[in-house]
Chain A
Amino acid sequence: MDKFEEWMTRGEEADASQFADAIDALATNRPLADSPDEAPDLYAELQLASQLAGGAAALQPRAAYRARSRALIVDAAQPLARKRARVQPIVSRQSFLVPFASAAAAAGLTIAAVLGATQLGYGPGGAQSSGAAVATNLTQRSIQEDLRSLQSTLDAVVAAADRGEDLDPVLLRSIAETTLNVTALIEQSPGAVRVEDVISYYQAAATTHIKLGEIAPRVSSTPALMAAQRASEDGVFAASKAIQAIQEDRAHTTP
């Protein structure tokens, strides 16, 4: 111990030990060895420590922050689950993303031509009940709105970066949340999503990922930027899986 403040006399050590023992006794509801009259200084110190601890317990992060941040952290752990489960995308994530920059539109059109414009519906025939039609229409409209929102928000972020401004974390979090919403829809309700929407999302998510990747070296890394990058990468991944599932389904059902 070479720091002066960590140097201690035996007397200091004994007092410190008595104080620590008293805190442990209080924490476990055991009686203290000395009474307040016998050790008024110790009691005054314990009183201050307990008031500090009790008052600090009221300091909590905002509920809205907590909910959003929790979702972000849980989402950040998903690559661990995928890694452990050894899930293989149709192509590796990197090789999928890198060449996409110049060919996104063309690839989307090619996939649309191959698959045709229809619902995803992985099951045999991809049939949908008429009762699902209203929900499906709402879903389509929702995805299109989400994609428009994603595009305009991304444009604002890119413009800010081009002007050399700090990136607005609210916009970045909006990108992450919008992307996560569509990804969740594709993963959890594939029967309600049209192929065109998946392709559009595939292009939008890849474009977002690439543009954020271009911005990242020019700005200081923030949790919001990292979350948006991760969410867009997951979006590409989810869309690619959905397209792969359609391809496999078509292969099985086509005579």
Chain B
Amino acid sequence: MPPELPAGGAARAFGLDEGLSLENERQLVERARWGEADAVGRLYDVYVSQVYRYCLGRVRNPSDAEDLTEEIFLKVIGAIEGFEWRTLGSDQGSSERSPFRSWVFRIAHNHVVSFHRRAAARGTSAELTETLRDDRRGPQELAETRIAIQEVMDAVRQLPDAQRDVILLRFVSGLSVAETADVLEKQQTNVKVLQHKGIQRLKRMFEAVEAAVEPVSLQRFRRR
């Protein structure tokens, strides 16, 4: 039986319906450069979850992810005066491309790299239980999701660095191909290849686990 895709809301699943229109974002960024509290707060609201998820994907420990997220936003605010709005390279896809989001994630990416460089042994095994918040899910479903997401995120961390970065930016933080290419300073074609290889590798990893033990949590994940 061929695999089925999640019914309805594929755009939501890929996170591409988050965020602002480019025009709204440009206005907010201009106001934020003047230190307008409302604009800064709104930009924070739009990006905090995306940045946090990226950090969590890189460090696993929720406390470290929170600290990193805060440090990244402080860096963003500290440097926002120097940010220049520029057009990103064209993308065959139809999703909007935000130069500001790329800039934020470039800061995030560099900051996380520095974090690992500074404290390579800092990674701990904190659980993700405190980070899952979704009132639309029942306790049973939430518990299953928790197990599944943790396993998947752990698997993502085991990917080669370039694949891992692309998978996190594309599917965990919801950036477009063009934005991801801009953040990682790669060509869009390379990003597409890396995201495909990353997903293929994840798929093989789960298939290998299934073949070995068929854990309940993975069965649940794959059925969802």
List A residues at the B interface (Cβ < 8 Å): 1, 3, 5-6, 8, 12-13, 15-17, 19-21, 23-24, 26-29, 35-37, 40, 43-63, 65-66, 69-70, 72-74, 76-84, 169, 222-223, 226
B80 touches A56 (CB 8 A): no
List B residues at the A interface (Cβ < 8 Å): 2-6, 10-16, 32-37, 40-41, 44-45, 48-49, 52-53, 56-57, 62, 65-67, 69-71, 73-74, 77-78, 80-81, 92-95, 128, 130-134, 137, 142, 145, 148-149, 152-153, 156, 160, 162-163, 167, 171-172, 174, 177, 186-187, 189-190, 192-197, 199-200, 202-203, 206, 221-222, 224
User: Nearest 5 CB-CB pairs, A to B?
Assistant: A81-B35, A80-B35, A36-B2, A26-B10, A16-B196
Interface centre among B34, B35, B78, B94, by most chain A C-beta atoms within 10 angstroms, is: B35
Using CB atoms, name the residue of chain A closest to B130: A62
B92 touches A77 (CB 8 A): no
Q: In the complex the two chains form, what is the Cα distance from A222 to B192 in whole Å?
A: 36
Cross-interface CB contact of A40 among B2, B5, B12, cutoff 8 Å: B2
Min CB–CB distance A183 → chain B (angstroms): 14
Provide the residues of chain A in CB contact with B92, threshold 8 Å.
Answer: 20-21, 24
Interface residue SS majority, chain B: helix
Once A12-B193, A23-B14, A226-B74 are accepted as A-B contacts, the answer to whether A59 and B56 lie under 8 Å apart by CB is yes
Min CB–CB distance B122 → chain A (angstroms): 12
Provide the residues of chain A in CB contact with B69, threshold 8 Å.
Answer: 61, 69
Min CB–CB distance A64 → chain B (angstroms): 10
7 new A-B pairs (CB below 8 Å) besides A48-B203, A53-B172? A1-B187, A16-B196, A37-B2, A61-B66, A61-B131, A74-B44, A80-B35
A24 touches B37 (CB 8 A): no
Once A60-B133, A61-B131 are accepted as A-B contacts, the answer to whether A51 and B80 lie under 8 Å apart by CB is no
B174 touches A81 (CB 8 A): no
Identify 17 residue pairs between A and B in the complex whose beta-carbon atoms are under 8 Å apart, listed by A's number: A1-B187, A6-B190, A6-B194, A19-B192, A19-B195, A24-B94, A26-B11, A40-B3, A47-B5, A48-B202, A49-B14, A50-B13, A53-B174, A61-B66, A61-B131, A76-B74, A80-B32
Q: In the complex the two chains form, what is the Cα distance from A199 to B167 in whole Å?
A: 55
Using CB atoms, name the residue of chain A closest to B95: A27
B77 touches A77 (CB 8 A): yes
Q: In the complex the two chains form, what is the Cα distance from A19 to B166 in whole Å?
A: 14
Using CB atoms, name the residue of chain B closest to A221: B71
Interface centre among B45, B48, B93, B199, by most chain A C-beta atoms within 10 angstroms, is: B199
B45 touches A70 (CB 8 A): yes
Q: In the complex the two chains form, what is the Cα distance from A128 to B14 in whole Å?
A: 58
A62 touches B131 (CB 8 A): yes
Q: In the complex the two chains form, what is the Cα distance from A43 to B11 in whole Å?
A: 16
Using CB atoms, name the residue of chain A closest to B39: A77
A16 touches B66 (CB 8 A): no
Q: In the complex the two chains form, what is the Cα distance from A43 to B222 in whole Å?
A: 13
Once A8-B193, A81-B35 are accepted as A-B contacts, the answer to whether A69 and B6 lie under 8 Å apart by CB is no
Using CB atoms, name the residue of chain B closest to A19: B196
A69 touches B162 (CB 8 A): no
Q: In the complex the two chains form, what is the Cα distance from A79 to B35 in whole Å?
A: 7
A223 touches B67 (CB 8 A): yes
A74 touches B40 (CB 8 A): yes
Provide the residues of chain A in CB contact with B186, threshold 8 Å.
Answer: 6
Cross-interface CB contact of B152 among A6, A17, A44, A52, cutoff 8 Å: A52
B177 touches A43 (CB 8 A): no
Min CB–CB distance B216 → chain A (angstroms): 16
Provide the residues of chain B in CB contact with A35, threshold 8 Å.
Answer: 2
Interface centre among A37, A50, A52, by most chain B C-beta atoms within 10 angstroms, is: A52
Q: In the complex the two chains form, what is the Cα distance from A49 to B156 in whole Å?
A: 11
Using CB atoms, name the residue of chain B closest to A36: B2
Using CB atoms, name the residue of chain A closest to B186: A6
A1 touches B3 (CB 8 A): no
Interface centre among B37, B70, B174, B203, by most chain A C-beta atoms within 10 angstroms, is: B70
Q: In the complex the two chains form, what is the Cα distance from A8 to B172 in whole Å?
A: 24
Min CB–CB distance A59 → chain B (angstroms): 5
Provide the residues of chain B in CB contact with A223, threshold 8 Å.
Answer: 67, 70-71, 74
